[in-house]
Amino acid sequence: MKTVLCFGDSNTWGYDPDASFGAPFPRRHSREVRWTGVLAAELGADWQVIEEGQCGRTTVHDDPFNVARNGLDYLPACLESHQPLDVVVLMLGTNDLKAMHNAPAGEIATGAGVLARWILQSTAGPGNVPPKLLVVAPPAVAPLGHLPDLSEKFAGAEAKARRLPALYRTMATQLGAAFLDSQQHTTPSSLDALHLDAASHATLGRAVAKALREL
């Protein structure tokens, strides 16, 4: 059996924008709807899919309003906990778009690259060699004009998010990792502009499965 670790943020956790809109706490897509669940169904019984999504997770930034959101702080323990891993799927960067981090698109890609290098230099794969890596550029950000609070929180995020696929592709190529542009397979919800509905989870899960088969 092969094992794949999916390391990401709320869109890997499965945040449901429809059920969560106006709710007092985040609601989650059911397991079979989440892209990780679709991935597991597509790959079949010969694969184990491990979900490691967390709402608010960044690449390398601390969040003063939410503890333990720095992806780099958690990644080493996560790799060690789940090893041996055949493949890691890395999809982070959306929360780096928050205005408080003041990170240009290039620095967000650099942050993702720090995590990618850690994975590729780890001993988390079978036989204490590095696992293979699929770098996934995060989804686009939809217009936020109807959400004034989020619009301030993610000021400039829509334009910066559009630049990430090219930057992530370059980073992945330089590191010898596989690459997938999630923006080619997903559309962010019009409700909150950030999260994926069930249809986008389905198309993303199938796209990741195809990429892993090719890898």
Q: Is the peptide bond before 131 cis (omega within 30 degrees of 0)?
A: no
Q: Which tens digit of pLDDT belongs to each residue from 142-192?
A: 999 888 999 999 999 999 999 999 999 999 999 999 999 999 999 999 999
Bridging pattern class, strands 132-137 and 87-91: parallel
Which residue is associated with the tokens 């060690």? 80
Task: Report whether 168 contacts 179 (CB < 8 A).
Answer: yes
Give the pLDDT score at 145: 87
The answer to whether the pTM exceeds 0.95 is yes
* Element counts in the chain: helices (H) and strands (E): 8, 5
Q: Give me the residue spans of the domains in the chain.
A: 2-214
Per-residue pLDDT of the chain (215 residues; tens, 9 = 90+): 999 999 999 999 999 999 998 889 999 999 999 999 999 999 999 999 999 999 999 999 999 999 999 999 999 999 999 999 999 999 999 999 999 999 999 999 999 999 999 999 999 999 999 999 999 999 999 999 888 999 999 999 999 999 999 999 999 999 999 999 999 999 999 999 999 999 999 999 999 999 999 99
Q: Is 160 helix (H, G, I), strand (E, B) or coil?
A: helix
What is the dotted CATH code of the domain comprising 2-214? 3.40.50.1110
Query: How far, in Å, CA of 134 to CA of 38, rounded?
Result: 17
